């Protein structure tokens, strides 16, 4: 991995924290430079056993022993957690990265020093297999090296994009929630495959592999998705018939409207 000489602390030891810790360790980051806190002893014991990192039930221990603090807690408890740790944070030295969904930077800053360096990160669930996509946005006190450090951390579990915070809601609708839409598509294709005489497991494998291969082709081809789609759609053929069905039922319009509704919901949650 790129050079990251900082000590990294996680407040919260759930699935996303575990994914990030796993990514760091797989990228040869030194385990003893990582510390995680949680009230869940079993989570901590598993992290210590699997990765050899430091663990504690005391959030203040994380602050005292790290340079970068990742807030990996549920949105409904982040205010309590920040109130607990704020007096122990040195705003000049500590970098705060929050992965709490829907919590704006200004809300966290209001509970800390007004000059606190804060990055808001939104990784999606494929980060758990090192194929995630993460958006980063930051406040005006962040320095270039802070962004570099954050990129290194999240590139351990996939792709990273820097965006403005006012774009976070559409990012959430499209990318953060995106894996659920793909799983929904797989569900739908499974239901349509009832006449295919294969096991459910093999069907899932084939459909998932088809989606992964198509996505990789779109990602690596010089052709736009529209061109790639047309290359597969022979006139008068099977694919054209299915596309005609999608068009007749206005599938694109359904997707656009659904994304708009999801974006509005993200805005609503962030304003609460």
Q: Are residues 129 and 195 in the same domain?
A: no
Which of 167, 202, 220 terminates a domain? The answer is: 167
Q: Count up the domains in the chain and report the number.
A: 2
Q: Are residues 154 and 185 in the same domain?
A: no
Cα–chain center distance at 44: 22
- Shared domain check, 156 and 239: no
Whether 83 is in a domain gets the answer yes
Same domain, 154 and 200: no
pLDDT along the chain (272 residues), means of 10: 79 90 89 92 91 93 93 90 90 89 89 90 90 94 93 93 93 94 97 94 96 96 96 94 96 96 88 72
Q: 135 and 14 in one domain?
A: yes
Of 148, 167, 186, the one marking the end of a domain is 167
Question: Is residue 158 located within the same domain as residue 199?
Answer: no
> Is position 93 within any domain?
yes
What residue numbers bound the domain in which 91 lies? 8-167
Q: Write down the pLDDT at residue 2.
A: 54
* Same domain membership, residue 211 and residue 231: yes
What local confidence, expressed as pLDDT, does residue 4 receive?
75
Provide the pLDDT for residue 15.
87
Same domain? 140 vs 249: no
CATH of the domain at 18: 3.40.50.720
CATH of the domain at 209: 1.10.3730.10
pLDDT given for residue 238 in this prediction: 95
Q: How far is CA 89 from CA 16, 24, 61, 83, in A?
A: 23, 23, 11, 11
Q: What region, left, alpha or beta, does residue 71 occupy, with left being phi > 0 and alpha being psi -120 to 50 degrees?
A: beta
Task: Establish if 21 belongs to a structural domain.
Answer: yes
Domain boundary among 119, 148, 167: 167
Residue 1 in any domain: the answer is: no
User: Quick one: 148 and 200 in the same domain?
Assistant: no
Residue 23 near residue 130, CB atoms below 8 Å: yes
In this prediction, residue 5 carries a pLDDT of: 80
pLDDT computed for residue 271 by the predictor: 76
Proportion of the chain in helix, strand, coil states, percent, rounded to 5 = 60, 15, 30
> Does 242 map to a domain?
yes
How far is residue 136's CA from residue 122's CA, in Å, rounded to a whole number? 7
């Amino acid at each position: 991995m790129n050079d990251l000489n900082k000590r990294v602390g996680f407040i919260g030891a759930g699935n996303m924290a575990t994914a990030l810790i796993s990514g760091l360790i797989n990228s040869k980051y030194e385990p003893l430079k990582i510390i995680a806190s949680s009230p869940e002893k079993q989570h901590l014991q598993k992290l210590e056993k699997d990765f050899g990192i430091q663990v504690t039930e005391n959030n203040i221990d994380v602050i005292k022993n790290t340079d970068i603090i990742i807030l990996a807690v549920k949105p409904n408890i982040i205010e309590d957690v920040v109130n607990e740790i704020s007096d122990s944070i040195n705003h000049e030295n500590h970098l705060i990265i929050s992965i709490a969904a829907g919590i704006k930077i200004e809300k966290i800053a209001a509970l800390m020093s007004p000059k606190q360096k804060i990055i808001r990160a939104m990784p999606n669930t494929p980060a758990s297999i090192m194929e995630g996509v993460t958006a980063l946005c930051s406040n005006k006190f962040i320095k270039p090296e802070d962004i570099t450090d954050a990129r290194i951390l999240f590139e351990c579990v996939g792709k990273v994009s820097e965006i403005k915070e006012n774009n976070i809601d559409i990012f959430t609708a499209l990318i953060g929630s995106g894996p659920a839409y793909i799983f929904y598509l797989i569900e739908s294709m499974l239901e349509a495959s009832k006449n295919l005489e294969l096991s459910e497991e093999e069907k899932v494998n084939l459909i998932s592999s088809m989606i992964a291969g198509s996505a990789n082709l779109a990602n690596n081809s010089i052709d736009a998705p529209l061109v790639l789609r047309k290359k597969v759609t022979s006139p008068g053929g099977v694919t054209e018939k299915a596309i005609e069905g999608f068009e007749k039922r206005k599938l694109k319009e359904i997707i656009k409207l659904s994304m708009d509704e999801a974006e509005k919901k993200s805005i609503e949650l962030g304003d609460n």
